[in-house]
Amino acid sequence: MKRFFISALSFAALSLTGCKKDQPAPSQTGTVSFAFEQTVGTAPLTLNTQTYTTPSGDQFRVSAFRQYISNVKFNKADGSSYAVPESYYLVDAAVSSSQEVTITDVPVGDYTGVTFTIGVDSARNVSGAQKGALDPNNGMFWTWNSGYIYTKLEGYSPQSSTGGLVFHIGGFKSPNNTIRTVSPAFPSGTKLLVRNDHSPEIHYNVDVMKMFTGPNTIRFATLSNTMGGPNSVPVANNYAAGMFTVEHIHAN
């Protein structure tokens, strides 16, 4: 009788074990952060007080600098990629918290690059009232032109005929499309290792000086005010050519 009782208990224990729900599989996604450090050449970007000089000798100060980063994609060596859904971020030099972007649910893996758009894609330019980073109340939307300002720089220069600088770069229609997509190279031999147990961070340097140098030399006596249109195209081409560089990838 005692032996039967022990056997019954053992059977019950096995039955209970068999009825347990399967343990959830470990998360197969991770988190990646972007840190944007804004500079002017080799100097930190300081609003309103710091005077900078372009390679052509023009002096200027910056009172506002904002920029859209969107449509982020993580790329692998085999050509596959992960496109982050609804990835629209407004990076503002006056708002330190906006310079740190956290992206969750990135599939684990070894990535060799990140691609993103400087600006807002054409579909969202014509989608009407939106929220979050794309809220028109953020001051990056032309109500008169039904579209977003992709990069906004305002400031002052003695070389400007008015004393002011207004560079509102935007527009998605040919021939004045200023949407630019870039893939700043990782340091040689470096990969982005996305895992479920740690969160790497990519440090980007954002060189504001690249708006005025590169393929096109911008002189403030000639161009100090543009709000889309043909004069914005050479500025967009400039910053697409080298404004963003990857300084390092932390905690890989």
**DSSP secondary structure, 61-107, as one string:** EEEEEEEEEEEEEEE-TTS-EEEPTT-EEEEETT-GGGGEEEEEEEE
pLDDT of residue 127: 83
Would 63 be classed as within a structural domain? Answer: yes
Would 49 be classed as within a structural domain? Answer: yes
Number of independent structural domains in the chain: 1
pTM over 0.75: yes
Mean pLDDT of the chain: 90
Distance CA 245, CA 243 (A): 7
Handedness of CA 128, 131, 132, 135 (dihedral sign): positive
Would 8 be classed as within a structural domain? Answer: no
Written as six digits, the tokens of 246 are 């990857």
Mean pLDDT computed over 207-234: 97
User: What's the pLDDT tens digit per position in 94-147?
Assistant: 999 999 999 999 999 999 999 999 999 999 998 876 899 999 999 999 876 679
Domain span at residue 177 reads 29-250
Distance CA 128, CA 147 (A): 9
Would 12 be classed as within a structural domain? Answer: no
* DSSP-based three-state secondary structure for 40: strand
Would 230 be classed as within a structural domain? Answer: yes
Would 45 be classed as within a structural domain? Answer: yes
Cβ neighbours, 10 Å, residue 243: 23
Would 226 be classed as within a structural domain? Answer: yes
Distance CA 101, CA 218 (A): 30
Would 236 be classed as within a structural domain? Answer: yes
